[in-house]
Amino acid sequence: MSFYDTLLKLESMPLGEQSGQYGRNDVERALSREKLDPEDLLALLSPAAVPYLEEMAQKAHRITRAHFGYAVQLFTPMYVADYCVNQCTYCSFSVEHDFARKKLTMEEVDREASAIAATGLRHILLLTGESRKDSPVSYVKECAGVLRRHFSSVSIEVNPLSLEEYRELAACGVDGLTMFQEVYDRETYARLHVKGPKRNFRARLDAPERGCQAGFRSVTIGALLGLSDWRREAFMTAMHARYLQDRYPGTEISIAPPRFRPYLGSFSPESDVTDRALVQIILAYRLFLPRSGLTLSTREPAALRDRLVHLGITKISAGVTTEVGGHTGGGGTPQFEISDERSVPEIREMLYRSGLQPVFKDWDILAEAPV
């Protein structure tokens, strides 16, 4: 059993355009319930829910304050390598793009980490391009060992790994895993992932579950919104999160709702995800999964991020660069263009102004230090 089996069954539900069959009564019933079922989630993502966005927002706000208070955790991604063996039509790191690839040495990782830690951040997300050859598990492990000297929590966003490899990383202090499925629609997935191991839909889909089994404290999933019908993608993401939450109660499951951003290539998304749609997605996530983390990236513009933090967001990135070595002036190629270029102190001040408390440290790694 894996989420793949669940996904096959869910594909028969009225997804995407078909969700137009839901009406006001369905939305009102969903809003009145404490524990929502998949039909409620579909209703909240459907066009019928649009007139209820304010009501959804009020409820999402109440739930978030009860469970998380005013705390919003800060983190930043750190790109250490941009070598990639996949050809994905929507990503700068795709193997088809010709640019000078980079991979940080441990000295450079240490320098980059020092620069980030000096801003007060204690949570770091380590990223690589997807290449087992250029950024193998041993490299990720070595980087994590350096990062542990600077941060109280180290998460990774790398190519899907085996259960044993995840266990190895968890044992040496990596405590979080982020794995974006990118697209849950299998046909679209096959079309957008032209070459490379990333074509294996199932291997990617099961990676978060392997992360839970390996003992990572937190696992973050998500779809890259815009690559396919957003209602369908948001529904599958939330169902995936609930699947993991039900089976691995000790793991904190979070969702990130990134929207497509300009990158090195010329691909245009087929599904336009408006600000209103993004709000609807975030609210539906919060109502369906009251205790899940919700992560907001710098793909969204500053003015919008300032508003979204009140709708259920519990983690936010700050001081972001998507280039390898970007925190120490590395000058690599950005994976995508960010929209909110504010520094850590600026994000901190924004949160305080919004009546929220920036949490720089929310965990201490308890695993033994790697040898």
Partner 1 sequence: MSQDLFHIGGKSLSSRLFIGTGKYSRNTLIPEVVEASGSEVITVALRRIDPASREENILTHIPPHMTLLPNTSGARTAEEAVRIARLARAAGMGNWVKIEVINDQKYLLPDNLETVKATEILAAEGFIVLPYMSPDLSAALRLRDVGAAAVMPLGAPIGSNRGLKTKELVGILIEEAGLPVIVDAGIGRPSEAAEAMEMGAAAVLLNTAIATARDPLLMAEAFRGAVASGRQAYLAGLGAVRNAAEASSPLTGFLSV
| Alpha carbons 85 and 79: distance in angstroms, whole number | 16
Contact between 359 and partner 1 per CB under 8 A:
yes
Contact map string, positions 207 to 236, toward partner 1, x by CB under 8 A = ----------x-------------------
For partner 1, the closer CB: 63 or 302: 63
At 356, the amino acid letter reads: L
Contact between 353 and partner 1 per CB under 8 A:
no
| Alpha carbons 75 and 298: distance in angstroms, whole number | 11
With vertex at residue 160, the alpha carbon angle to CA 155 and CA 161, rounded to the nearest 5 degrees, is: 85
Select the residue interacting with partner 1 from 33, 67, 195, 202 (CB under 8 A): 67
Contact between 152 and partner 1 per CB under 8 A:
yes
With vertex at residue 274, the alpha carbon angle to CA 271 and CA 277, rounded to the nearest 5 degrees, is: 95
| Alpha carbons 221 and 182: distance in angstroms, whole number | 9
Smallest distance, partner 1 to C-beta of residue 284, A: 18
Site residues (CB under 8 A) for partner 1, limited to 286-315 = 291
For partner 1, the closer CB: 1 or 366: 366
Contact map string, positions 13 to 52, toward partner 1, x by CB under 8 A = ----------------------------------------
Place of tokens 């019908």: 229
Give CA separation, 33 vs 197, 265, 268, in Å: 42, 44, 38
> 253 pairs with which residues across the strands?
219
Rounded to a whole number of angstroms, the CA Rg of the chain reads: 19
Kindly indicate which of the ranges 15-23, 301-309, 330-338, 358-366 contains the residues binding partner 1, using the contact rule CB under 8 A.
Answer: 358-366
| Site size toward partner 1, by CB under 8 A | 31
At 260, the amino acid letter reads: F
Residues found near partner 1 in the complex (CB under 8 A): 65-71, 120, 122, 152, 217, 245-246, 249-253, 291, 352, 355-364, 366
